[in-house]
Amino acid sequence: KWYMLIFLYSAGASNTFSPTATSKYLKHFYDLKDEPTGRGKRSDSTFSSSVKDMQIFFGLNVTGSLDSQTLDVMKTPRCGVPDVHDYSLTQSTRWNKNQITYNIGRYTSRLPRSTVDSLIESAFNAWSAVSGLKFVRAHRNNADIMMEFVTYAHGDLYPFDGQRGTLAHAFGPGPGIGGDTHFDDNEQWTAGPKGKNTLVVAAHEIGHALGLRHSRNPDSLMYPNYRASRPGNLLSLEDIANINALYRPVQLPIYLNPWLFPRLMQDRCAPDMSFDAVSTVGDTLAYVLLQDTFMFCFLIRYLWIKHNAQPDIKEGPISNFMPKIETSIDAAYRIPRKNTQHHFIESMFWTVKGSTVRGKPRPLSHFGFPVWVQELDAAVHIVKTGRTLFFVHDIYWSYNENKRVMEYGYPKYIYEDFPGLNTTETINAALHKEGKI
């Protein structure tokens, strides 16, 4: 199988290995590039960098070498969708509707058809129960999500590899093949803990078909490696939050949205109230003359603005204050010496000066993140050090704004430098104020 490795031992030399298995894994899941034509041996630094990306994603010791722990993870059966991107790069990130049709084409011979129907329906029900989505079985070949059990090469350029390797894959939302979900029929599909649990795998792949990416959280259904038993409910709190963030109502402005408006306005003093991002601004905006600085608090597509020396609060849709930005903000920070802010939206960021959006959005790779980082949880700039800290799940980076490079030795685990902070939950936002974060 592709994941099996052959080690060659020679006296007086370090262990070498056949590159076929690991190269295939890293090329498919971590975007390891082929060397330019004419070059022989693959660059050790390029290969090591991809190994580090994989180790960071899975929370392993970041060595850049193929230690036993890394190889064990590579051998684990998993979803075929890459961890650094997905099969929806040329398609939409979500369906532009809340009623989605599906159909099952070819079945597996390992389970009765009625059992497969029931398990697939339960997988869809897991997502509809926690969101506003509705799934309808449509007995036709042009349903939004076409599901089938196939083997090896099956017409989509992503062949399966036989038993135990890649279990299944799904394409992101969109026309044509968009949403389609394929299961490797060489696997032992079951309705229980033995073999490969059809319900668990189907629910994971449906997440991709709805537009979700892989998660680094082992408790998430969207974790790429297969886990037969799942604690409690099929979906984690992270899965529920992500599907609702992706399919929030977008037809109406936020101040007309009957679902969101009461939550933001009437319940804004609730004990579980939280923000997506917090930043400061020290420039003159068109609607008010600043004497010092403002604090910006973002939640979904809404914004609160609080002056540090005045009691009143301005509030409204983000687009009211920053035209061109009509979506939610994941993270934001201000660089006072440049009098600019960076606002992060999934894998892109905008540069804002005052209330003016400067230029087009740019990718996160501008900062030197590994390719698997597709979204930030929080960002905060420390004026005294000239560093910006970026938080992603349970790790963080330090970026030198003067040299415009990530600092050596990062990422680090948050708990290492912020002892006592509960990192089992994702950090929502960060702000540097009066010498404290």
Answer yes or no: is 79 a known binding residue: yes
Q: Is 208 annotated as a binding residue?
A: yes
**Does the annotation mark 434 as catalytic?**
no
Q: Judge whether 178 is annotated as a binding position.
A: yes
**What is the DSSP code (8-state) at residue 317?**
E
According to the annotation, is 379 in a ligand binding site? yes
Q: Is 179 annotated as a binding residue?
A: no
DSSP 316: E
CA–chain centroid gap for 257, Å, is 26
Would you say 132 and 247 are in contact if contact means Cβ atoms under 8 Å apart?
A: yes
Q: Is 343 annotated as a binding residue?
A: no
The response to whether 330 counts as a known ligand-binding position is: yes
- Report the residue count for the chain: 437
Residue 271, Cβ density class (10 Å: 0-12 exposed, 13-18 middle, ≥19 buried):
exposed
162, 184, 243, 363 alpha-carbon torsion, rounded to 10°: 50
Angle, helices 44-57/19-30, rounded to nearest 10 degrees: 60
Is 146 labelled as part of a ligand binding site?
Answer: no
To the question of whether residue 342 is assigned a binding role by annotation, the answer is no
- CA–CA gap between residue 137 and residue 358 (Å, rounded): 46
Tell whether 393 is in a known binding site: no
Residue the block writes with tokens 């590579």: 74
Q: Does 276 show up as a binding residue in the annotation?
A: yes
**Known binder of ligand: residue 184?**
yes
Task: With beta carbons less than 8 A apart as the criterion, state whether 222 and 242 touch.
Answer: yes
Beta-carbon contacts of 80 under 8 Å, excluding residues fewer than 6 positions away, are 28, 158, 160, 166, 167, 168, 169
Does 138 count as an annotated binding residue? no
User: Cβ(135)–Cβ(124) under 8 Å?
Assistant: yes
**Which of these is catalytic: 205, 315, 326, 407?**
205
The response to whether 204 counts as a known ligand-binding position is yes
Binding site for Ca(2+): what residues are annotated? 144, 161-162, 178, 180, 184-185, 187, 276, 330, 332, 379
Residues annotated as catalytic (active site), given as ranges: 205
Binding site: what residues are annotated? 79, 144, 154, 156, 161-162, 169, 178, 180, 182, 184-185, 187, 204, 208, 214, 222, 276, 330, 332, 379
Binding site for Zn(2+): what residues are annotated? 79, 154, 156, 169, 182, 204, 208, 214, 222
